[in-house]
Structure formats: structure tokens, C-alpha cells
Amino acid sequence: MTDAPLFDLTGHVAIITGGNSGIGLGFARGLARAGADVCIVGRNKERNADAADILRAYGGRVLALACDVGEEKQVIDTIALAADELGRIDSCFVNAGVAQGMTPFIDTDLAEFRRVTSINLDAAFVTLREAAKVMVAQGEGGSLVGTASLAATQGVPRGQSYAASKAGLIAMMNSIAVELGKEGIRANSVLPGWIETPMTDGVFAWDRFQERVKPRIPARRWGRPTDFEAVAVYLASPASAYHTGDTLLIDGAYSKF
């Protein structure tokens, strides 16, 4: 047992895929505010640089790496580089993902299904595996976090591939929690509701969607990336030392109404 402050992440190193915008940047900002050194991973170098500038204002080390998480070798090299540059990896937030198109289910071809699952599930698998290797080698435990979606638990029209990928991610996180618990490695999923991010800009701009969905949210607003800062700190910190194999719902009670 340690008497160290529960939410002080000084000396902690976190890596966040899809960390240059939206929920991923919310995770990264919370971690940086708590004193962690962070590595954000994304395909867009300009967006990476802008996010890194935001994070450096909190005083910690910030590393921004360009990577296509759909390419296994790039992921392997990126995780290794992050560990080498920052000295270790204590938490890994798998947040990179893509949305599904609006093609009806009966017209969706296998290539489109695999386009979504290859990023949301396959790439998450590779990222988690590589980060876990570093943590096991360090021998000091760690925290793995996957960004899921309400689509994993609720039916979404024209969303079969996205829903399958996110449900698969939750199942994978649960299995990791069981297998790596003996290594002191925790694995949890975060399940966001309707959050204002670049991925949801299109649907949120649709008046009919706003009229039908927003009134169903008891919190009476869309979620924001800032709503994910504190949960990131909790999951990375010693405060969650015995919290693993869980799915944390952040949806303003939408799914309960």
C-alpha cells in the first residue's frame, strides 16, 4: 500500500490513440492536467501538432506520433518508439476509430464491414497487445482502456459493423482483464453516449436527429470531450487499482431513460 496521492500522475506515462481530437484529446488533457507525460497517436500530423501544443501548456512531456493504426507494423513501431522516448508506458487508451456509412444492412458488402472492424477491433487488438508487452516487461502493472460505444449495447440502424466492433472490443477488454490481472494490469472499457466530436458533427447537424434524441438525455445536453478528462485520470491512477474488467458508462443517463 502507498500513501501517494490517488490522482497525482507525476511520472506516469500514457499513450492515447486517436488522441488529437474528440474523446481522445479529452482523455489526454485530463491525464496531462494530472501531471502525466502523454503520447498522442493519430494519422493527421497537423492535428497532432495542434493537440500537442494544447497539452504542453500543462507542463509535462508530450510526444505526438503519426501512425495509421490499421497497419500492424506501424503500430508495433509506434508503441516501441513511445516507450523508448518516454522511458515506459503505464497506461494505454485505445480510442482511434472510424464510423460506419449509412448503407442499409442488406446492401452492405463484406469489404465495408471489414473496413470498420479492421480499425475499431483489429487495430485495437494490436495496440493493446503491444502496450501490454511493455507493461509486462516493466513488471509494475498498468492500465489498458478501450473506447467503446452505446452501439455495443443498443441496436443502431445501419450500424452493424460499428456495433459489432465495439461489442467485440468490450469482450476483448474483459478477457484481457482476466488474463493479465496476475500481472497487475487492469483492463476497462469506457462506453460514451452522444458526444460532440468530429465523428458526430454530421448527425448532430441534422435537425430531426436533434429533435428526437436530445430530449431523451436526462442531463439535457450532448456530452463533451471534457467529460472524459476525470475518468481518464481515475482509470490511469492508483485510485482504480482494484477496478478492472468493467465498462464505465458516460452518457448523461441516456440509456436509462
Asked if residue 1 has pLDDT above 60, the reply is: no
Report the chain's mean pLDDT, rounded to a whole number: 95
Phi and psi, residue 142, nearest 5°:
165, 180
Q: What is the pLDDT of residues 11-64, one digit of tens each?
A: 999 999 999 999 999 999 999 999 999 999 999 999 999 999 999 999 999 999
Tell me how far apart the alpha carbons of residues 9 and 33 are, in angstroms, rounded to a whole number. Answer: 9
* Mean pLDDT, residues 164-171: 98
Tell me how far apart the alpha carbons of residues 135 and 90 are, in angstroms, rounded to a whole number. Answer: 7
Query: By CB neighbour count within 10 A (0-12 exposed, 13-18 middle, 19+ buried), where does 105 fall?
Result: exposed
Q: What is the pLDDT of residues 210-223, one digit of tens each?
A: 888 899 999 999 99
Active-site annotation, residues: 149, 162, 166
Alpha-helix residue ranges (DSSP H) falling in the chain: 22-33, 45-56, 72-86, 110-117, 124-138, 160-180, 201-204, 207-213, 229-236
Residue 186's pLDDT band (boundaries 50, 70, 90)?
Answer: very high
CB distance 17 to 24 below 8 Å: yes
Dihedral angle over CA of 228, 231, 232, 235, nearest 10: -160
Q: Per CATH, the architecture of 13-248 is what?
A: 3-Layer(aba) Sandwich (3.40)
Quick one: pLDDT at residue 224?
96
The residues facing 28 across adjacent strands are none
* Mean pLDDT, residues 135-140: 98
Q: Crossing angle, helix 22-33 and helix 229-236, to 10 degrees?
A: 60
* Mean pLDDT, residues 163-191: 98
All three cell numbers of 157, joined, read: 440502424
* Mean pLDDT, residues 185-196: 96
Tell me how far apart the alpha carbons of residues 131 and 117 are, in angstroms, rounded to a whole number. Answer: 20
For the question of whether the overall pTM of this predicted structure is more than 0.85, the answer is yes
Tell me how far apart the alpha carbons of residues 128 and 171 are, in angstroms, rounded to a whole number. Answer: 13
* Mean pLDDT, residues 154-182: 96
DSSP 43: S
Quick one: pLDDT at residue 195?
94
Quick one: pLDDT at residue 2?
58
Quick one: pLDDT at residue 192?
97
- Coil, strand, or helix at residue 65? strand
